[in-house]
């Protein structure tokens, strides 16, 4: 432990290695191909290979092979171990001086028992997936959630396939529109309790931090807007995206929010992406 923690801190002390690790944290629980990391951060493959080797040597990143592809994922238990050791050492065995860094989700939930949670869904274009998620949580959340969606580079209008599907499913689409994440920054912006990215490209980007953000998770999924083929094949892609998000949001609204502390709640929303 005494040698491992300094090694990890040294690995993260390099700005580009830290950028790689931060991207993998945003994409967790995904296993991300090296080529995608290289493209997202504009780093040469040979340079990235060196960064990843250092992070793996420090025990911060794991590697898996799928055919000819190498994929990487942040090692969450190792990072938690690192932070625990750092805080305990920093506080000389008196972690109450440093913790909690933020109120626990359980404390927040108890204090907000009559107040809806604020939830934001982000994708790149904000024309289909995040719009589906916004409409679904409004419908399934029984008034317990204030829901917004936004895009890092939003389209000027919603995808017509997405709008028609929502109408066919009985959703009210009148208040839905494509929005930029910049609308949710500043003094008048809501304090979000949950922020979800639903596309890999948005998760690869350095999204802003919102005041009051408690829990964030990546629920990546294929973009139905990019589906090719006949109208029927494209429509099927939208149906599949809607169905996947519907299952995830059903799992989300079923969580016992007031019984879970922050770590347990974070694990629960991460597991939804892996199991649903």
The whole-model pTM stands at 0.77
CATH classification of 4-97 is 3.50.50.60, yes or no? no
Per-residue pLDDT reduced to its tens digit, 99-153: 554 444 444 554 445 689 999 999 999 999 999 999 999 999 988 999 999 999 9
Q: E-assigned strands of the chain?
A: 32-33, 61-66, 69-74, 117-123, 145-151, 194-197, 215-218
| Angstrom distance (rounded) from CA 91 to CA 78 | 20
Tokens found for residue 1 = 């432990």
The list of the chain residues with pLDDT below 50 reads 101-107, 110-112
What is the distance between the alpha carbons of residues 108 and 33, in angstroms, rounded to a whole number? 37
Q: What is the pLDDT of residue 151?
A: 93
For residues 86 and 6, the answer to whether their CB atoms sit within 8 Å is no
CATH number of 105-275: 3.40.50.2300
Q: Supply the DSSP symbol for 221.
A: -
pLDDT in tens, 202-219: 667 666 665 655 788 999
Which residue, among 107, 78, 114, 116, has the nearest Cα to 1 in the 3D structure?
A: 78
Tokens 């992070």 locate to 55
Domain ranges of the chain: 4-97, 105-275
**Helices marked H in 122-197:** 129-140, 160-168
Closest of 169, 167, 151, 203 to residue 40, by C-alpha:
203
Q: For residue 164, what are its two tokens?
A: 């028609």
Give which of 234, 231, 214, 213 is closest to 223, Cα–Cα. Answer: 234
- Domain 4-97 matches domain 105-275 at the CATH topology level: no
């Amino acid at each position: 432990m005494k040698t491992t923690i300094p090694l990890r801190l040294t690995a993260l002390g390099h700005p580009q290695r830290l950028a790689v690790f931060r991207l993998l944290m945003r994409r967790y629980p995904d296993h991300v191909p090296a080529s995608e990391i290289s493209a997202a951060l504009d780093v040469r493959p040979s340079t990235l290979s060196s960064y990843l080797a250092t992070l793996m040597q420090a025990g911060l990143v794991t590697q898996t092979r799928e055919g000819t592809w190498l994929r990487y994922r942040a090692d969450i238990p190792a990072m938690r171990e690192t932070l625990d050791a750092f805080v305990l050492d920093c506080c000389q065995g008196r972690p109450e001086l440093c913790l909690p860094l933020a109120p626990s989700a359980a404390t927040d939930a108890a204090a907000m028992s009559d107040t809806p949670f604020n939830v934001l869904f982000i994708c790149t274009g904000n024309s289909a997936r995040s719009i589906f998620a916004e409409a679904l949580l409004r419908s399934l959340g029984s008034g317990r959630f204030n829901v917004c969606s936004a895009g890092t580079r939003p389209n000027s209008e919603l995808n017509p396939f997405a709008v028609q599907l929502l109408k066919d499913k009985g959703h009210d689409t009148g208040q839905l529109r494509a929005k930029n994440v910049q609308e949710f920054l500043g003094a008048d912006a809501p304090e979000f309790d949950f922020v979800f990215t639903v596309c890999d490209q948005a998760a690869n980007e350095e999204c802003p931090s919102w005041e009051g953000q408690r829990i964030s998770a990546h629920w990546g999924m294929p973009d139905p807007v990019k589906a090719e083929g006949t109208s029927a094949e494209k429509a099927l892609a939208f149906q599949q995206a809607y169905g996947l998000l519907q299952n995830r949001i059903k799992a989300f609204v079923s969580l016992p929010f007031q019984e879970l502390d922050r770590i347990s709640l974070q694990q629960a929303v991460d597991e939804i992406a892996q199991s649903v």
